Amino acid sequence: MLCNYSINNLLNLPEKFIIQKKIIENESYIYLSLPQTPHECPNCKTITSRIHDYREQTVTDIPLLMEKSIIIFRKRRYYCPCCKKRFYENNSMLSRYKRQTNRFRLHVLGSFCDMKTITQIGRDHHVSSGIVSRIMEQMRYPKPAFLPRTIAIDEFRGNVGEKFQCLLVDPQHHTVLDVLPTRNSEDLHAYFNQYPMKMRKKVRYIIMDLSSQFYSVMRSCFPKAKIIADKFHVVRLITWALDKVRKKVQKNFAKNRRISFKRSKALLLKHSAELTEEEMDRVAIMLSVSDELRLAYRLKELFNDVMASKTRRHFKARYMWFKQEAEEYEIEEVMKHIATFDKWIKEIERSCVIGVTNGFIEGCNNRTKVLKRISYGFRNFNRFRNRLLCIANNTEIQKRRRHKLTS
């Protein structure tokens, strides 16, 4: 049997409560009451110590030693002799009309930062998923008060309302700014125009994929910002072209060879500098079966060299070399992307020279997919938005703390 002092320490009570503890069917029942003190009447402000009666209230508290913890408050009702009003004593642990203690609700809200379902959180706290859902409604993430110097925007496939939603992040400080319910131009304009033009002019860089829609919106809302094409989306075009050539070549193979060729496609897409000697031999064998595949692979490697440029002079020289080789080889799958590269050449050049990417936002997209999968989808966008902001930003805070401890 735990003594009152031990229970007081375990519960970390903010005040000196009178305590009695009972265990009934693996549930901890803790009887608490506040020490009697003079109270101010909320009506006439008279100080009184006169007690009218006592009432008991049963509430849920944070688990104690892995057991469900139930607190039974013996609440006093005071009587004001001046205005005849009866009122309950002040209790810092419990809000009015609530069946859970304040710290229990905070503990549940903290659990939303973990990649858990509502059912799992309820099971951990020995309450129903309905109670957890109602506590979740208290989560409020307002839109950012200020805009950072660098903003990255990307879309992801949602399942609440619109088919696609947008994610806004600060890639330099690894912070998720907001989740938008739609990617429509009108809605994006309305969102960014909430900020004064003076603030929007201070934004220096906008990182995005090769979307003409995003480009027009960002150019209009952030007139002083430089648009940067994300490296991942740029390189992906050339890797897709190489993969299409690989698929076309392997159609003429027998079944077993076609399956083997398909399973080794990752080696073709991998940068040659990262291949081991054994992998380089396997790639050489794959390229020997088709001149078209060999030339497409060479163009992929040339384009990787373009994207590795650190200066404008190197970028322009390497891109011209890549473009000349592509026009000479006339590989259809590659040539159809040349016009796209020419259209976005300034933005692609900035991605190499400035060196800021959308890598952080792509990691957030992965967390989004995991959250939707474990939750079997969302029907309420505000819940989805608050939960995603809670998980994403809490994960980055934990990473920074671990980095400080290890550095």
Band of pLDDT at residue 404, cut at 50, 70 and 90: very low
Of the two residues 48 and 401, the one the predictor is more confident about is 48
Q: Give residue-wise pLDDT tens across range 224-276.
A: 999 999 998 999 999 999 999 999 988 888 888 888 888 888 998 888 888 89
Are 279 and 269 in contact by the 8 Å Cβ rule? The answer is no
pLDDT of residue 20: 67
Percent of all residues in the chain with a pLDDT value above 90, rounded to a whole number: 36
Residue 215: HSE in the Cβ half-sphere, 13 Å Cα cutoff: 12
Q: Which CATH number fits domain 150-230+357-406: 3.30.420.10, 3.40.50.720, 3.30.1510.10, 1.20.210.10?
A: 3.30.420.10
Which burial class, exposed, middle or buried, applies to 336 when counting CB atoms under 10 A from its CB (0-12, 13-18, 19+)? exposed
Question: Stretch 88-103: mean pLDDT, rounded?
Answer: 84
pLDDT of residue 396: 56
Q: What ranges do the domains of the chain cover?
A: 4-99, 150-230+357-406, 231-353
| Beta pairing partners, 86 | 79
pLDDT of residue 358: 79
What predicted TM-score, i.e. pTM, was given to this entire model?
Answer: 0.78
| Beta pairing partners, 144 | none
- The sign of the dihedral angle between the CA atoms of 188, 189, 194, 200 is positive
Q: Give residue-wise pLDDT tens across range 109-124.
A: 888 888 888 888 888 8
Dist CA 235 CA 300 (whole Å): 9
Q: Give residue-wise pLDDT tens across range 366-401.
A: 888 888 888 777 777 888 888 888 888 776 555 554
